[in-house]
Amino acid sequence: MILFVLISIPLAAAALSSSSSQARFGSMISVIGAVAALALSGWVAVDVITSSKHVLVAIPGWIAIDALGALILLLIAVVNVTATLFSVGYMDFTTTGDSHRYYLNFNLFVFSMFIVPLLQEPNIVWIAVELTTLFSVLLVGFENTREALEAAWKYVVLTLMGAAIALLGFLVLYWAARQAGITHYTWAGLEAGAPQMSPVLLKAAFTLILVGFGAKVGLVPLHTWLPDAHSQAPTPVCALLSGIETTAVLYVILRLLPVMSAAPAIHANTWLLIFGLISVGTAAFLLLRVRDYKRLFAFSTVEHMGIILAAFGLGGTAAHTAAMLQIVGHTLTKSFCFYTAGSVLQMTGTRNIASVRSVIRRSPLIGVALLLGGLAIAGAPPFVLFLSEFSILRAGLNQGEYLTTGLLVFFIAIAFFAIMNHIGRMVFGSTEVGDPIRPYVLPVSSRMTLILAVVPVIVLGVYIPGPLQQLITLAAAVLGGRG
Amino acid sequence: MQAFQNMTPLLANLNALAGSLFIIATFGIVATRQVRACLKFFILQSALLAASAFLLGSNPLSMHLIAVGIINLVAKVWFLPWLLRRQVEEEVYTRREITQVFSIPASLIIALLLTVAAYFFSLPWVKTAADAGALSINVPVGLAGLLLGGFTLSTRREAVPQLLGILAMENGAFFAGIAIAPDLPMIAELALAFDILLLTFVVGVLTRAVHERIGSTAVGKLTNLREEVQQ
């Protein structure tokens, strides 16, 4: 069936790209595979929207997909296309070589992300999330510098520690389900049987999973690995890690929301709000003092994960729908930001913000892209993140959550100022006197990536196509509008 | 629903013994300085996990839990140490860690406090069961294993002990798991075992890369990436 074909594409690409000795072949296979996977996930999304129950089942109880899963799947597939395309130019730029190892790990990493939204048995989902870490670790350390290895080590240690905590959480969840007599241990079965489950065990499971997987989403205080890993990894991998991996793990936490709403005494929403606000606030102030522009975008991921979590914490259909749009907007915008950051890195060879000036005079394309990326990720109109953040704040005000909304506005404003301050100086700042401006031209594949990646960022800000809007609404409905 | 209410007193006592030895083995991982000894304590801990699975699965006979015990023996007691030894040079194992965050007595006191905390945290969980049985041993011991593994992870500076900390955490989760989720689907058990081995392999590869790059496996020295002024 279509779902099996979809998940076998990255596996096939992994096998093929490591079998040939040609680096170009690996790139080509990966790009072709990514485009095919995107087409199929688009098809899956349309199928989910048009089917009567909005669910596509491959193996009942094990592999199926609903609107929320389809949305995540689609986003993974989109970033996969741009990331493989950008990899072509990156492979020419990097000196580390070994493209086999790169494409093997890359495609396996994509595979492990693809299966997260497809799997229905929560314990197996845990394994899939663990696989995303294991397949991406060696990619983070791919450059093999001291810093890259440090980043990879912190990444693997902190996220695996979180995963072990989450594992106990999932086992406790299973325990609670058995006590309640739930026979179908799937997301849907859990939701149906939630009212019978012991609130004590539910609370324990939820806390363990939130803390454990929160580490991988990049929630403060277990976020410290994130700026390291997301800045040291090769650029296309940064786009995957920051743009979609965090979201795919957040998706697993969100799956618990309908279960938790059966036990209002636990106040799961309040936990999300608190965790979310702490993350947004911490990230906003750290953004002010970053010195490395890839870390700038990495901290902005922590900020956005916090905003999304807080929005789900607010609860209600309006906030949920806005948070879904925020997920879409963040994935598309953040991956674009990392491609521009990667282009700047290829041009200048430094990650230091203070050493990068007058980007727009050396390469108008990169300069404009960096400016657009900065504005879009900071949440300026008319980009899509402005739309979603505005909707979240409006939902907050409508619910009378003035304190939460006020804090969010304050933190978002600080983050906006911090990001634009750094980006503005990089794009327009003047170079030292006598320093010649050497024009720089990006590889064709990288230019194509930038243009491809920026289109949805701009378009979605002014126009959201009907089917996508439908998918977002359905996905929000999966999580329930109560709260 | 409860699987262990028919456990004979002898089996229950043996399981309690396995649980206490499991805690002692975990204390060993926390407090040993030499990497090789640390690895031996981990192997002992995994063997005790398998022993508990065998005990819980023997009366009434549960082929499922017996299989889980066998999977654990093969994957963690036999295959994993072999894999780790193959990947990380012998010289690392004979090394003693001089620079630790806490002294050995201090580590042991903190470990003791964490164990007590684990009992307090898990008490309400165990109370939700109609008949606690083996749960009253396995759940607190498992949570203690998780916390102590995390403690090891955050205080060690060497790569291999940090890895053993992660693995000890997972062993803790499994120790609780065999009691609270004894009928987990077999595919999940197999995938979990595979996951542990892949984890060891990947971290081993990374450890070797670190060793080649900076000439030691003291990952605690890797502190270049931060926001403060560095260059």
pLDDT tens digits for range B13-64: 999 999 999 999 999 999 888 889 999 999 999 999 999 999 999 877 888 8
Mutation for testing the B interface, residue in A153, A170, A197, A231 having most B CBs under 10 Å: A153
Which candidate from A160, A176, A204 shows the least CB-CB separation from B199?
A160
Give the pLDDT confidence score for residue A448 in this predicted structure. 94
Give the pLDDT confidence score for residue A244 in this predicted structure. 96
Within 8 A of B127 by CB-CB distance, chain A residues are: 200
Within 8 A of A201 by CB-CB distance, chain B residues are: 125, 128
Within 8 A of A151 by CB-CB distance, chain B residues are: 225
Phi/psi for A57 (5° steps) reads: -110, 130
Within 8 A of B202 by CB-CB distance, chain A residues are: 134, 137-138, 156
Provide the mean pLDDT of chain B: 88
**Nearest residue to A269 (alpha-carbon basis) of A451, A396, A417:** A396
Does the CA dihedral A237-A210-A221-A384 come out positive or negative?
A: positive
Which tokens hold the place of A132? 């995303």
Q: Do B173 and A228 touch (CB under 8 A)?
A: no
Question: By CA distance, what is B226's nearest residue in A?
Answer: A228
Q: How many whole angstroms separate alpha carbon A304 and alpha carbon A223?
A: 13
Q: Please report where in the chains the tokens 């130019």 appear, as a residue.
A: A89
Task: Report the predicted TM-score, pTM, of the whole model to 2 decimal places.
Answer: 0.95
Give the pLDDT confidence score for residue B4 in this predicted structure. 60
Q: Please report where in the chains the tokens 């304190």 appear, as a residue.
A: A403
Q: Do A147 and B227 touch (CB under 8 A)?
A: no
Q: Please report where in the chains the tokens 């806490």 appear, as a residue.
A: B102
Q: Do A144 and B177 touch (CB under 8 A)?
A: no
Find all residues with CB under 8 Å of B14, minimum gap 6, and list them: B55
Give the pLDDT confidence score for residue B224 in this predicted structure. 80
Of residues B99 and A210, which shows the higher confidence score? A210
Mutation for testing the B interface, residue in A167, A202, A352 having most B CBs under 10 Å: A167
Alpha carbon of residue A390 to chain centroid: 20
Give the pLDDT confidence score for residue A440 in this predicted structure. 87
CB A304 within 8 A of CB A330: yes
Which tokens hold the place of B196? 């542990």
Which candidate from A167, A228, A231 shows the least CB-CB separation from B173?
A167
Delimit the domains of chain B by residue range.
Answer: 9-221
Find all residues with CB under 8 Å of A84, minimum gap 6, and list them: A27, A30, A31, A33, A34, A106, A236
Residues in chain A: 483
Give the pLDDT confidence score for residue A24 in this predicted structure. 83
What pLDDT band is residue B99 in, cutting at 50, 70 and 90?
Answer: low
CA trace torsion A74, A76, A78, A82 (10° rounding): -170
Q: How many whole angstroms separate alpha carbon B228 and alpha carbon A429?
A: 23
| Residue A155 DSSP one-character state | H
How far does B148 lie from chain A, in Å, by closest CA?
12
- Given a cut of 90, is residue B1 above it in pLDDT? no
Q: Do A168 and B1 touch (CB under 8 A)?
A: no
Within 8 A of A286 by CB-CB distance, chain B residues are: 227
Give the pLDDT confidence score for residue A441 in this predicted structure. 87
SS3 A463: coil
Question: By CA distance, what is A288's nearest residue in B?
Answer: B227
- Given a cut of 80, is residue B227 above it in pLDDT? no
Within 8 A of B189 by CB-CB distance, chain A residues are: none
Find all residues with CB under 8 Å of A349, minimum gap 6, and list them: none
Within 8 A of A200 by CB-CB distance, chain B residues are: 124-125, 127-128
How far does B128 lie from chain A, in Å, by closest CA?
7
Which candidate from A137, A154, A204 shows the least CB-CB separation from B125?
A204
CB A429 within 8 A of CB A420: no
Q: How many whole angstroms separate alpha carbon A123 and alpha carbon A159?
A: 17
Give the pLDDT confidence score for residue B229 in this predicted structure. 47
Helix (H) or strand (E) holding A278: helix A268-288
Phi-psi region of A400 (alpha: psi -120 to 50; beta: other; left: phi over 0): left
Q: How many whole angstroms separate alpha carbon B178 and alpha carbon B133?
A: 13
pLDDT digits (tens, 9 = 90+) for B111-153: 999 999 999 999 999 999 887 788 999 999 999 999 999 999 9
Q: Do A150 and B166 touch (CB under 8 A)?
A: no
Within 8 A of B146 by CB-CB distance, chain A residues are: 164-165, 168
Give the pLDDT confidence score for residue B6 in this predicted structure. 64
pLDDT digits (tens, 9 = 90+) for A340-381: 999 999 999 899 999 898 899 889 999 999 999 999 999 999
pLDDT by 10s per residue, chain A, length 483:
899 999 999 999 999 988 877 778 889 999 999 999 999 999 999 999 999 889 999 999 899 999 999 999 999 999 999 999 999 988 888 776 688 889 999 999 999 999 999 999 999 999 999 999 999 999 999 988 999 999 999 999 999 999 999 999 999 999 999 999 998 899 999 999 999 999 999 999 999 999 999 999 999 989 999 999 999 999 999 999 999 999 999 999 999 999 998 888 888 999 999 999 999 999 999 999 999 999 999 999 999 999 999 999 998 999 999 999 999 999 999 999 999 999 999 999 899 999 898 899 889 999 999 999 999 999 999 999 999 999 999 999 999 999 999 999 999 999 999 999 999 999 998 876 666 778 888 889 999 999 999 999 999 999 999 999 999 999 999 997 543
Find all residues with CB under 8 Å of A30, minimum gap 6, and list them: A13, A17, A84, A87, A103, A106, A107
Which candidate from A168, A227, A289 shows the least CB-CB separation from B146?
A168
Note which residues in 198-217 of chain B have CB less than 8 A from chain A: 198-199, 202-203, 205-206, 209-210, 213-214
Which candidate from A161, A178, A290 shows the least CB-CB separation from B166?
A161
CB A190 within 8 A of CB A182: yes
- How many Cβ pairs closer than 8 A exist between chain A and B? 132
Q: Do B188 and A181 touch (CB under 8 A)?
A: no
Give the pLDDT confidence score for residue B231 in this predicted structure. 39
Within 8 A of A131 by CB-CB distance, chain B residues are: 195, 198
Within 8 A of B129 by CB-CB distance, chain A residues are: 179
Q: At what angle do helices B9-31 and B104-127 cross, to 10 degrees?
A: 140
Flag the least confident range among A401-415, B171-185, B212-226: B212-226
Which candidate from B170, B181, B210 shows the least CB-CB separation from A153?
B210
Q: How many whole angstroms separate alpha carbon A194 and alpha carbon A10?
A: 35
How far does A452 lie from chain B, in Å, by closest CA?
32
Side-chain half-sphere CA neighbours of A87 within 13 A: 35
Q: How many whole angstroms separate alpha carbon A444 and alpha carbon A450?
A: 10
| Residue A292 DSSP one-character state | B
Side-chain half-sphere CA neighbours of A30 within 13 A: 36
Residue B120, judged by CB atoms within 10 A of its CB (0-12, 13-18, 19+), counts as: exposed
Single-letter code of the amino acid located at B99: T
Within 8 A of A134 by CB-CB distance, chain B residues are: 195, 198-199, 202
How far does A49 lie from chain B, in Å, by closest CA?
31
Note which residues in 64-103 of chain B have CB less than 8 A from chain A: none
Q: Do B177 and A171 touch (CB under 8 A)?
A: yes
Q: Do B170 and A228 touch (CB under 8 A)?
A: no
Alpha carbon of residue B180 to chain centroid: 17
Q: Do B188 and A127 touch (CB under 8 A)?
A: yes
Q: Do A156 and B210 touch (CB under 8 A)?
A: no
Give the pLDDT confidence score for residue A483 in this predicted structure. 38
Q: How many whole angstroms separate alpha carbon A46 and alpha carbon A467?
A: 8
Q: How many whole angstroms separate alpha carbon B119 and alpha carbon B146?
A: 12
Q: Do B209 and A144 touch (CB under 8 A)?
A: yes
- Given a cut of 60, is residue B2 above it in pLDDT? no
Give the pLDDT confidence score for residue A23 in this predicted structure. 74
Which tokens hold the place of A424? 């503005």
Question: By CA distance, what is B220's nearest residue in A?
Answer: A150
